[in-house]
Amino acid sequence: MLTVYRQLLRLYPAAHRQQFGEEMLAVFVDVRADIEKKKFFAQTTFVVREILGLIAGACGEHMRCMLGPDSGFPLSTRSFAMRNGFRFPKTTAVLMILILCGVVIAIKRGEDIAMSLSHVNPSIVPIQPAHSTMLTGLAFFSIFFYSAGLLGWAILFALRRSGVHRLAQMSGEQK
């Protein structure tokens, strides 16, 4: 299998092979040594996954060579694939705030429904629509914390202490 893996590594562009080939081979050997102790199905799954991963990775690298380093491969093989220039998705914080707002609004609506039920008589009365005043508070809450985050980022940027600046200052041998 090691010979097949080395042959498949030749599918990658030469520059990529020179930079990452030995490391990829070393990782493959380590993982293969661990997987040899497992059952046949796990070994077969590992081999198939590695072969398909090498072919897809080689196609992706050739596309990046042809279209440029910042262009993404339109048919992404994995959503969590690491590559040069990988960054944490910027929309994550926004989506987390939207989810938090949705949960808080759902809790508030649940409390409104519970309050509209008659506690004296067990029969259920019609539920009246409740007007939520919580949305304005959530908007101010979000604006405040986004401003605090932006201020913190601006301070780190001004002090040149963010990870981007530290990585940019490293020499080629340290990377």
Question: Sorting pLDDT into bands at 50, 70 and 90, what band is 172?
Answer: low
Provide the 3-class DSSP secondary structure of residue 79.
coil
User: Each residue of 99-152: pLDDT tens digit?
Assistant: 999 999 999 888 887 777 756 555 566 667 767 777 788 888 889 989 998 898
**What pLDDT is recorded for position 77?**
47
Question: Sorting pLDDT into bands at 50, 70 and 90, what band is 165?
Answer: low
Asked if pLDDT for residue 8 goes beyond 60, the answer is yes
**What pLDDT is recorded for position 106?**
92
pTM for this entry: 0.40
Q: How many CB atoms lie within 10 A of CB 54?
A: 20
User: Each residue of 61-76: pLDDT tens digit?
Assistant: 888 888 776 555 454 5
**What pLDDT is recorded for position 168?**
61
Q: Where are the domains of the chain?
A: 2-67, 91-168
| Phi, then psi, of 165 in degrees rounded to 5 | -70, -40
Asked if pLDDT for residue 38 goes beyond 70, the answer is yes
**What pLDDT is recorded for position 52?**
87
DSSP class of residue 172 equals: T
**What pLDDT is recorded for position 160?**
67
Distance CA 28, CA 137 (A): 53
